[in-house]
Structure 1
Amino acid sequence: MSFSIVVDHVSFAWPDGTMVLDGLDAAFPAGRTGLIGANGSGKSTLLRIIAGELTPGSGSVSVTGEVGYLPQNVPLAGSRTVSDLLEISGKRAALHAVENGDVAEEHFTAIGDDWDVEERARAELDRLGLGHVGLDRTVATLSGGEAVMVALAAQLLKRPAVLLLDEPTNNLDLDARRRLHAAVSAYPGVLVMVSHDRALLGLVDQIAELRDAAVRLHGGNLSDYERQVAAEQEVAERTVRTAEGEVRRQRRELIEARTKLDRRGRNARKAFENKKVPKIVAGGLKMKAQVSAGKHRALHEERLAEARNRLTEAELAVRDDAEIRVELPGTAVPAGRTLLALPLDRADRADRADRPDRPDRPDRPERPGRPDGAPGRDGLKALDRLVVRGPERIALLGPNGSGKTTLLRRIVEHGAHVPVGYLPQRLDVLDDALSVVDNVRAVAPAASVNDVRARLARFLFRGSRADQPVGTLSGGERFRAALAALLSADPPPQLLLLDEPTNNLDLSSVRQLSQALAAYRGALVVASHDVPFLETLGITRWLRQDRDEGLAES
């Protein structure tokens, strides 16, 4: 097998000394590879090293061809335009200058053979569902999902031989996800993708798992990988049971051997004491018994040690993945109690009853409880205000750029009748310069350091990891830290607002989060494109936000 990317004994540590990769060897073949692993295992760091954004402390990386890289978080601040993000502003300026009669040589040099760059850019944006986004639009006005798709369009325009994608489906609605899946399926080059999106990982040719500071390749997609791992774990667990049985047997045989040898020694002493054998014979028997006892004891102890070693090796093959233990505040909210009454302006309101011919949005799930399962558009009810009562569980749906995040922020600013906890999409509620411990203490000043550390341990921040600056955390680690701070707040939140909470989480953490939220006794409003995740939460109301039509309820 030929490899397009070779990572040779690469090590990397953050400036504070936190080791991320230590002597890592990896090789990625042609085709589509899904790179998976627990949050904080170093997946994003590895992509950044391959892309040349980070320099390893030791080791080397070789890549065949040009590299394109889509980061996990696309910068939205500043005055950059879509054209800037697409990296075509210089060529566009030269084109416009030539069109206006300026025939300076530098313009032709800047354009090269790319005279149709604007047409290609617009075609790529349209293919990704961004036909409504102008090239001169400011990036800061884009939604998180729109920014991701524009950044993807920038990479596709460059047509690199190797394309690296870090959580590309974060913040994308279902229509955008389908378009991204199609682009991934059609990409002719080498793709390496970090993702927790099961549908996207179903499109890959192989899974590369970063685990225990090593990368292991598994042929096939995520489902194939899971079947292979399940089979391996079944064998490993069976081997552990066999090894445990062998340890018990060897321990029992050692005890039996000691008992037998002790009995022989007692018999020899009794024979001498009863004058049945001469003293010189008894001494010889005693010495012989001692030598025999030593040999037998050494033999059985050696066998027991070997059995224990086999058990240790077998146990190492069994996965014991650490999982977050999310314990949400036990703040029961009385049924029917009004927690929020937010007036909606015209941009938030919708009336779709007179638009039955409008096609369904692809990211609207079937409404639970409907006998025919078909959501339809004519059943949507326009809202002139948003009322939340305890302990409702509300799903907030809608395409990228429709205003879901804006609505959640308005809820926070409007002020509910109970304490509110808000976890924003970009996780910008933490101070990057402070440690994880200090960020939590900032929202829970009455809690002792020991209490804070105990809480953080449930989110896998143990020992020195809790002292890491937040700015050095991976996306998944940052989410865990933000969630820990949110749930440690004093007073604890009785209304939780979560904006795309499954972004950046590994599959295990998504499961843990859904279990915890399902047990939460307060009110919950979740904006998400992850319909399978929403369906685990026991949603009681489905709301939809549209760009032009505002907020409506099914």
Structure 2
Amino acid sequence: MPAATAHISCTSLSFRHPGGGEVFTGLDLSVGPGRTGLIGLNGCGKSTLLRLIAGELAPSAGTVRIRGELGHLPQTAVLDTALRVDQVLGIADRRAALDAVESGDVRAEHFAVIGDDWGVEERSLAALDGLGLGHIGLDRTVGEMSGGECVLLRLAALLLRRPGVLLLDEPTNDLDAYARRRLYDAVDAWSGVLLVVSHDRELLERVDRIADLRDGSVTWYGGNLSAYQEALAVEQEAARRMVRVAESDVQRQKRELSAAHVTLARRRRYGQKMWDTRREPKVVMGQRKRAAQVSAGKHRILHTERLAAAEQRLEEAEAAVRVDEEIRIELPGTRVHPGSEVLLLRDPAPPYGPPLRGGLTVRGPERIALTGRNGAGKTALLRTIAGELTPLSGEVRTSVATGFLPQRLDVLDDDASVARNVARSAPDRTENAVRARLARFLFKGAAADRPASALSGGERFRATLAMLLLADPAPRLLLLDEPTNSLDLASVRRLTEALAAYEGALIVASHDVPFLESIGITRRLRLDGGLRDTGPGAVREGR
């Protein structure tokens, strides 16, 4: 089907998580050709919507219709490490048939498998090369590749199918700067329907339109992220102006209602005086009293209705102003003395990934950016420092309590509630203390009782971070592996503010250069076959 006719249509879509709350009720969405960025606060249902469109979840009501072949790159899909590259690309059977024919086996079934796709290997290698994976070949296994390379491999498999509709969920999360540029190029060249969920500002600057998912409905904005933010700023300023006008009207109506009460009270006193002095016949005075009571009632009702209408307009105006709750991260007071040793590394060789030649000593509250290409061994080194992996050789020694926030956020028990997960790390804290801390991470009331399996990527990050920061003893060395993955922009800002106030030592592996530069990095450690301390200065990733 031509890309120009591909289309996504969702009508009256509703969905409820098992054991969770309602996500959508009667959602309508129509997405045509072009690049669409789907944004919204963590937990608003972006990934759920993509899974509904992809057919991985069944809606509780409503319909999803797709015109054209669909490809979906999920946020958390994990490939079997034993798979070869050609199996992930879906071409292993055609390669085997080609090899058989070239070896002289001319049975009909081989030709049936090949069809007209005699150049499948060349096409596949070209697709890999276009995403910067030309060096991996078709016979390497997934277990030999980094997380970022696996993301690009899954994307290459989708591009080989040439679907008319492509769904991408946080595709740049695990990619280094070079790999991101390759993905950006693929997005720029896309001609069909592309619906991408991302918090990557540079990726969102490349879309044609923004779909803002909020409170179970979508609002459309033309242009890229910058155009959306400008339009939203204008919209919100107008909304705040309407609130000020409505507030003024409410105050005016209250004053008029108060004045009406005073006027009516004066009339009642005057009428009572006339009745007491008997200046007019009793029948006439009775008629005037009844007329005055009717008039007073109408007057009171009129002003009361005007006040109610003004208050309704104020409520509607306030509803148009966005007041988004943000996480309030309070890192423990764990000051590290500037001269004390926190970490010592000497030629560490994690059990997977390349051995790392060289040494590093961390003293005091240093802030170290751990950088390097995908596959350089950043995650393996952090897991070794955290004590999750035992080095094959070399020395890894920590001298303080250590907290590790893993990239995959796989430390939560999916069958347990958020509150129970957090309580596991702090068994001596009361349930009220745990829930008070969770409220700062926007898990309030029943939200803290949701199972971890029902959490979105951003919610899972918040729960994992809460569990880390409530731990006893509190960490004086924080190890963060791609901490901004899956976070909305407001949460990234709050995390930045919290880390700025942290008094312990910090090692952060991240490809998010603006984030690294915002948290006061004092040293840079680049992995390129060894531990290369590149000293202070701006954080940049090379090719």
TM-score by length of 2: 0.92
- Single out whichever of 236-245 and 414-423 deviates more from structure 2: 414-423
Q: Which amino acid aligns with 1:391?
A: P
Q: Within 2, Cα distance between the matches of 1:105 and 1:50?
A: 38
Pairing 1:86-125 to 2, within 5 Å after superposition: 86-125=89-128
Aligned to 1:291: 294
Counterpart of 1:248 in structure 2 is: 251
What are the Cα deviations for residues 285-335 of structure 1, in whole angstroms up to 9, with x where unaligned? 333332221111111000000000100111111111121111111212222
Task: Give 1:434's aligned amino acid.
Answer: A
> How far does residue 349 in structure 1 lie from its aligned partner after superposition?
4.9
Report which stretch shifted further, 130-139 or 185-194. 130-139
Q: Which residue pairs with 1:448 in the alignment?
A: 430
Q: Residue 543 in 1 paired to residue 543 in 2?
A: no
Aligned to 1:354: none
Q: Distance in 2 between matches of 1:200 and 1:322?
A: 25
Q: Does the CA-based 8 Å contact 1:348-1:545 persist in structure 2?
A: no
* Residue of 357, 367, 372 corresponding to 1:393: 367
1:383-419 deviation per Cα after TM superposition (whole angstroms, max 9, x unaligned): x322112211111111111111111112112452111
- Which of the numbers 153, 173, 179 marks the counterpart of 1:150? 153
Report the Cα distance in structure 2 between the residues aligned to 1:237 and 1:417, rounded to whole angstroms.
52
Offset of 1:268 from its aligned partner?
Answer: 2.1
Measured in 2, the distance between the counterparts of 1:180 and 1:293 equals 72
Provide the aligned length of Structure 1 versus Structure 2. Answer: 520
Matches of 1:46 and 1:349 in 2, distance apart?
42
Cα offset, 1:449, TM superposition: 1.8
Deviation of 1:274 (Å): 4.1
Note the C-alpha offset of 1:348.
Answer: 5.4
C-alpha deviations, 1:122-163, integer Å up to 9, x for none? Answer: 222122111222322221232111110111111111111111
The alpha-carbon deviation at position 282 of structure 1 amounts to 3.8
Residues 1:521 and 2:506 aligned together: no
Shift of 1:212: 0.9
- The 10-residue stretch of structure 1 (190-199 or 44-53) with the greater mean CA deviation from structure 2: 44-53
How far off its partner does 1:255 sit? Answer: 0.4
Q: Distance in 2 between matches of 1:537 and 1:337?
A: 22
Corresponding position of 1:44: 47
Deviation at 1:279, TM superposition (A): 4.2
Q: Aligned with 1:344: secondary structure? A: strand
- TM-score, normalization: structure 1? 0.90
Specify whether residues 544 and 333 from structure 1 end up closer, same or farther in structure 2 by C-alpha distance, changes over 3 A only.
Answer: same
Moved more, 222-231 or 284-293: 284-293
- Return the match for 2:331 from 328, 331, 345: 328
1:395 partner amino acid: A
In 2, Cα distance between the equivalents of 1:474 and 1:13? Answer: 13
1:348 and 1:336 map into 2 onto residues whose CA distance is: 29
Show the counterpart of 1:366.
none
- Pairwise CA distance, 1:345: 4.0
Aligned partner letter, 1:536: S
1:266-285, aligned counterparts within 5 Å?
266-285=269-288
Moved more, 462-471 or 495-504: 462-471
**Matched-pair contact (CA < 8 Å) for 2:145–2:375:** yes
Q: Tell me how large the CA RMSD over aligned residues is.
A: 1.8
Give the counterpart letter for 2:439 in structure 1: A
Given the superposition, is the C-alpha separation of residues 446 and 345 from structure 1 closer, same or farther in structure 2, using an over 3 Å criterion? Answer: closer
Residues 340-349 or 110-119, more deviating: 340-349
Letter in 1 for 2:533: A
Q: Is the 8 A contact 1:329 1:520 kept in 2?
A: yes
Aligned twin of 1:367: none
Distance 1:106 1:518 in 2: 64
Give the one of 402, 405, 411 matched to 2:385.
Answer: 411
Separation in 2 of the partners of 1:53 and 1:415? 45
Aligned residues of 1:3 and 1:27 also touching (Cα < 8 A): no
User: In the alignment, is residue 230 of structure 1 matched against residue 228 of structure 2?
Assistant: no
Counterpart of 1:204 in structure 2 is 207
- Report matched runs for 1:417-428 at 5 Å: 417-428=399-410
CA–CA distance in structure 2, aligned partners of residues 232 and 168 of structure 1: 30
Within-5 A mapping of 1:38-187: 38-187=41-190
Alignment of 1:502-517 (within 5 A): 502-517=484-499
How far did residue 228 of structure 1 move?
0.7
Matching residue of 1:372 = none
Mapped contact 2:370–2:524 kept (Cα < 8 A): yes
CA contact (8 A) 1:500 1:526 kept: yes
Look up the match of 2:470: 488
Q: Counterpart of 2:392?
A: none
- Between the aligned partners of 1:106 and 1:21, the Cα distance in structure 2 is 48
The answer to whether structure 1 residue 458 and structure 2 residue 440 are counterparts is: yes
The residue that corresponds to 1:312 in the other structure is 315
Alpha-carbon distance, 1:19 to partner: 2.4
One-letter amino acid of the counterpart of residue 223, structure 2? G
The AA in structure 2 aligned to 1:399 is R
